[in-house]
Amino acid sequence: MFTLRRTLSFGVGTIPRADCLTPNPMKRFAPILSLFAGVLGLSAAPVSLFDGKTLTGWEGDPKVWRVENGEIVGGSMAGNPRNEFLTTKRTFYNFRLTLEYKLIGTEGFVNAGVQFRSLRATNPQNEMIGYQADIGQGHTGSLYDESRRKKFLARAGAGFGGVGVKEESEITELEKKGEWNKYEIRAEGPRITIRLNGKQTLDYTETDPSIDDAYGLIGLQIHGNNKAEIHYRNIVLDPLNDVPVTTKEAVLNRFGEAKSAWVTPAPFKERKFDLNDNEVVVFIGQENFVREAKSGEIESRLAAAFAAKNPVFRSMAWEADTVHEQWRDLNFGPWKGQLEAAGATTLIVQFGQAEALKGQGGLAKFKADYHKLLDDLSRHTPRIVLLSPAGFMPSGRLPDLTTSEHRKNLADYASAVAEIARLRGLPYVNLTEVTQNEPSTDGLHLSAHGLEIVGREVASALGLPAKSEPSEIVRAAIVEKNRLWADCWRPANWSFVYGDRISQNYGKGFGPTPSLKENFEAYKPLVAEWDRHILALARGEQSVTPAPQAGPVVSTEKVMTAAEELATFKVADGFEVNLFADESLGVAKPTQMAWDAKGRLYICCSPTYPQAVPGVKPRDYILRLEDTDGDGKADKAVRFAEGLTMVQGVEPLTDEAGNTSILVCDFDRLLLLTDKDGDGKADETTVLMSGFGVGDTHQLLNSICHGPDGTLWMSQGLHAITRVETPYGIVSLPKSGLMRYDFKTQRLQPFFQYGKAGHNCWGVAFDDFFQPFHKSGDRVAGYYSLPGLGAIETPDEYAGTHSLFDSPLKSNSIDIIGTKAMPAELQGAALIGGYYGNTLDLHRFVDDGSGFKTERISSPIISSSKAFRPVDVSVGPDGALYACDWFNAVIGHYQASYADPRRDRSHGRIWRITAKGLPSVKQPDLGSMNESELFAQLASPERWRSHGRFTIPCRDPSRCVGSSARFDGFPHSILCRPCCRRMVDATPGHPVTSGQGCRRCASSRPLGSRRGPQSCRWSVVIADGVDGFRSADR
């Protein structure tokens, strides 16, 4: 189903299958109706959805659905074991749907229904998710929410006065059981009405803000667990005035030209690769092909070998694409239109690695679906080259994909690709063996050296001459061209131009700056200039580097100084505020901040936000600040990393050798940036994961932080449709939610998917008892997260269940206070960034049964300036409270154009709040401590102790054993619950704790409720540890 006001997707390949962890809202279907000319409101004549003869335009199990006597018939009088649906291939929004149905049954739950504004589930595949007009078993005329809220939203007769059906009991007389009945469903905006045989049965208006799914499929249901048949006929849909939609031509025009006719090129002769004049070569595949576009190793060799023939290259690879399904944004378009618009003549295709993780059980389906995909692609061009998947490689991390079982599975999938190429007469390149011993970050994805090996192997296998080895200048130009092409073909903020947010201000131009649509289209001529530039360089000719486009105009009005902004603060009694750092030290558009083990502050600076400028290279950066003299003001600044795309999360790490690394949420990737030589600047970049959603750049992957067990927590917003390739398979987080990432095992877990606990999740924090809380920037409330952290495929709505931190206006980001530098009454309180109301707020936790409620204590800062935007908050190493001030009156995407000159790109402030009368504390250098010193820090009341927990796992386990034994001698008063938890949780995976220590920890009364989980986790790593916990139970 397509979603009103939300960027969603449809597949350009085949019907999706269950290879996600969750049902995926990214849509699978052709653009809305036929996509009319111009940007218009959709209004058309009624259309019949059933031709009376075939199931053309519908999808479903042919064993269940058929056409008999001009009717669609579903189910069987012999029995229906489960729900089954026949769905349209097209999606619809506002409409009036009329049809006739006849339900016949003898046993079981004799029931059916009509789905609308719905989507196909992927697990289980036979289900749908969305609204259903129910039929039979006493529910006819009622509105049910299938597989989502899983309840009746409105019963027939509810809410009517003298109009239509007044009582549900009237349905029995109104419906003609076992005969033909007429159903009418009208869906317009949030309002839904249903009529049965001419009488209205209900009038329902959707008020739940989390249910915004308004685009979607029509589906016909036969219920399971019965002996029944459902008959449908005369199915007619009357489109009503719709939201503005764009045309197919406009969507494709951003990167190519829609073709009215296409001449199919000749196939390769005898499976020998060659290029004709002026060919367009397109790469199709998974993340390793995405990485190829960023390395240019294959393309540069092809460009050099065929420079005389003027080839052009385009990458249409996408992370987590498989032969089974390829997800794209709403209105993106199917393969046919994409390839025609690009003018593709030759395709280089690579699949099989992600699919091979399914093992032998998925091999037959892989072969069948690869043939189907190639059938689809070859209708455009028969000139296709197949590459085997890259090998499973050593990574030094779990899971080990180099086991004989994994490698045999992959070899079988590679052999299947080779056989498919032979059967279809296509050139084939085997890359599995040549890459399987290459070092990899995760065992799946190629390093820079691995990509170079692939480039050489492809060149050799395709018979390219030795002279095809490219110059570094050519390869660098190709990498930049591919970056521009990616911004052109799969641009960020898609929905504001081609999706469901066209009417919002963000996509509109401002003054001389064109609309966002024109901004997207500006890439096409720029990419063409780079094509010409690359061809000239490949031929050895001189060429001038193409110039970038000018960016949006920035206001020249005087900007409020930090001192002037400080004067706008109303500071609560008992607090003092000073400026820690501002733009004079390089703070520009800060989005998140984090402290390292040495007490230094790292800040995400995003001058690129909210939109890249065509041709301008990425310029976001991570700034590191230090207060070297302890006066509460930063006096040393260095750009730790530059050239980043759009950063919204940072978390420092310190390894045993003292090297400083940071994890960065950068646009669609999670990066590890490391300073190897100690000069304060990152000199090594590792891509840990890629494929995070970019549908809305103020909802990107954000706010990464450590959890108490050393895992990493992140969040994202509603339009960030994430699909990531991991060593365990493809992980999906549809819409807003949280993610937990275990760096050691590489396991990524999504929570609260579909926006069930906030639509713009931003910030996770843990209290002293390691209980998680998170905030969402689209509302005033935040959440006690723990009860919802289950592996639930379609979670129920969480809002209102464990809502906390109510404030007058929307807020985001959270930290928990724990320091001697703040008053006793604030210990354990939550600090919240009130970015929308220009405040900082404090909330006190109060036990409420098995959960919490919160009470707003005070606001340390209330500003009269709309430019004060605290988007992140933190307790610093000195015990002060810190606020990361975005500093701009313009926020978000709805209020103003992307090109609004009031969007500042060069200012930002970090504010420091201290408690009057209380001295600051000083964090020791945790990074230089030995194991015993680190363990001792776990008993500290200061929040910096968390760095000890994160540093210990990097140390040698044998040294940690003796150090942790010191806890056996700690007095019982020290072994309070938080301290015990810190000790036991300090080193997951390390055998560091003795049985005696476990017994003394477990005997601490507040820890009692935690004994079970701890003993389960530690039974395999703690000598006599289980007995230690059990003895406490006795």
For the full predicted model, state whether its pTM sits above 0.85. Answer: no
Residues 6+ apart with CB under 8 A from 527: 255, 481, 484, 485, 488
Spell out the alpha helix ranges (H) of 212-334: 248-253, 287-295, 297-305
Q: Which one, of 747, 743, 807, 750, lies nearest residue 775 by Cα?
A: 807
Q: Which one, of 290, 266, 248, lies nearest residue 345 by Cα?
A: 266
Residue type, 633: K
Per DSSP, what are the bridge partners of residue 576?
914
Is residue 830 a contact partner of residue 854, using CB atoms and an 8 Å limit? yes
pLDDT value of position 39: 32
Residues 228-247: b if buried by 16+ CB within 10 A, e if exposed: bbbbbbbbebbbbebbebbb
Q: Determine the Cα–Cα distance for residues 961 and 990; give it in Å rounded to an integer.
A: 8
Cis peptide before 614 (omega within 30 of 0): no
Indicate if the pLDDT at residue 103 is higher than 60.
yes
Is residue 995 a contact partner of residue 962, using CB atoms and an 8 Å limit? no
Q: ∠ CA 445-450-456 to the nearest 5 degrees?
A: 130
Q: To the nearest whole percent, how much of the chain has pLDDT over 70?
A: 85
Per-residue pLDDT band at 753 (split at 50, 70, 90): confident
Say which residue, 497 or 1005, is predicted with more confidence: 497
DSSP for residue 405: H
pLDDT value of position 966: 55
Per-residue pLDDT band at 961 (split at 50, 70, 90): low
Indicate if the pLDDT at residue 89 is higher than 90.
no
pLDDT value of position 999: 54
Per-residue pLDDT band at 505 (split at 50, 70, 90): confident
Mean pLDDT of 821-843: 97
From the centroid of its chain, how far is CA 166? 45
Highest mean pLDDT among 323-332, 785-794, 868-877, 890-899: 868-877
pLDDT value of position 1005: 47
Indicate if the pLDDT at residue 694 is higher than 90.
yes
Mean pLDDT of 241-265: 78
Residue with tokens 């110059």: 471
At 280-295, the pLDDT tens digits run 999 999 999 999 999 9
Is residue 570 a contact partner of residue 504, using CB atoms and an 8 Å limit? no
Residues 6+ apart with CB under 8 A from 161: none
Say which residue, 231 or 262, is predicted with more confidence: 231
Q: Determine the Cα–Cα distance for residues 833 and 861; give it in Å rounded to an integer.
A: 10
DSSP E strands in 895-1002: the ranges are: 909-915
From the centroid of its chain, how far is CA 410? 27
User: Does residue 735 come out as left (phi exceeding 0), alpha (psi in the -120 to 50 range) or beta?
Assistant: left
pLDDT value of position 260: 64
Indicate if the pLDDT at residue 1017 is higher than 50.
no
Q: Return the sign of the alpha-carbon dihedral for residues 508, 514, 519, 524.
A: positive
Residue type, 737: G
End-to-end CA distance of the chain: 55
Mean pLDDT of 233-242: 86
pLDDT value of position 714: 98
At 649-684, the pLDDT tens digits run 999 987 666 678 999 999 999 999 999 888 999 999
Q: Return the sign of the alpha-carbon dihedral for residues 698, 699, 704, 707.
A: positive
Q: To the nearest whole percent, how much of the chain has pLDDT over 90?
A: 67
Mean pLDDT of 44-52: 89
Tokens of 1000: 């003394």
From the centroid of its chain, how far is CA 826? 35
pLDDT value of position 963: 59
Indicate if the pLDDT at residue 1033 is higher than 50.
no
Mean pLDDT of 630-653: 97
Bridging pattern class, strands 181-188 and 191-196: antiparallel
Task: Report the half-sphere exposure of 33 (CA within 13 A, side-chain side).
Answer: 24
From the centroid of its chain, how far is CA 717? 8
Residue type, 806: D
Tokens of 540: 């050895």
Say which residue, 439 or 213, is predicted with more confidence: 439
pLDDT value of position 143: 96
Mean pLDDT check: name the lowest of 20-29, 204-213, 484-493: 20-29
At 526-583, the pLDDT tens digits run 999 999 999 999 999 999 999 988 877 777 788 999 999 999 999 999 999 999 999 9
What strand order describes the sheet that includes 384-387?
A: 312-315, 280-285, 346-350, 384-387, 428-429
Residues 6+ apart with CB under 8 A from 414: 352, 388, 389, 430, 432
Q: ∠ CA 540-543-546 to the nearest 5 degrees?
A: 140
Residue type, 382: P
Residues 6+ apart with CB under 8 A from 327: 9, 10, 11, 16, 24, 26, 28, 318, 320, 321, 721, 723
Q: Which one, of 341, 268, 281, 264, lies nearest residue 317 by Cα?
A: 281
Q: Determine the Cα–Cα distance for residues 956 and 951; give it in Å rounded to an integer.
A: 11
Residues 6+ apart with CB under 8 A from 395: 401, 439, 440, 441, 442, 443
Q: Which one, of 994, 754, 825, 963, lies nearest residue 6 by Cα?
A: 754
Q: Which one, of 813, 663, 832, lies nearest residue 743 by Cα?
A: 663
Indicate if the pLDDT at residue 1018 is higher than 80.
no
Which domains does the chain show, CATH number per domain? 43-242 (2.60.120.560), 248-471 (3.40.50.1110), 562-915 (2.120.10.30), 926-1033 (no CATH)
Q: Determine the Cα–Cα distance for residues 263 and 489; give it in Å rounded to an integer.
A: 23
Provide the residue count of the chain: 1034
Indicate if the pLDDT at residue 749 is higher than 60.
yes
Q: Determine the Cα–Cα distance for residues 623 and 641; give it in Å rounded to an integer.
A: 7
pLDDT value of position 95: 92
DSSP for residue 447: -
Q: Determine the Cα–Cα distance for residues 754 and 212; give it in Å rounded to an integer.
A: 10
Mean pLDDT of 601-619: 95
Mean pLDDT of 252-281: 91
Indicate if the pLDDT at residue 745 is higher than 80.
yes
Mean pLDDT of 208-229: 83
Q: Which one, of 941, 947, 943, 942, lies nearest residue 929 by Cα?
A: 947
Indicate if the pLDDT at residue 989 is higher than 50.
no
State the burial class of residue 802 (Cβ atoms within 10 Å of its Cβ: 0-12, 13-18, 19+): buried
Q: Cα-flanking dihedrals φ and ψ of residue 78, to 5°? A: -85, -15
Highest mean pLDDT among 141-155, 371-385, 880-894: 371-385
Tokens of 514: 């064109």
Mean pLDDT of 747-773: 92
pLDDT value of position 855: 95
Q: Cα-flanking dihedrals φ and ψ of residue 693, to 5°? A: -70, 145
Q: ∠ CA 605-610-614 to the nearest 5 degrees?
A: 105
Torsion angle in degrees (nearest 10) through CA of 930, 935, 940, 944: 60
Mean pLDDT of 860-869: 97
Q: Cα-flanking dihedrals φ and ψ of residue 552, to 5°? A: -60, 150
Is residue 858 a contact partner of residue 825, using CB atoms and an 8 Å limit? no
pLDDT value of position 962: 57
Per-residue pLDDT band at 122 (split at 50, 70, 90): low
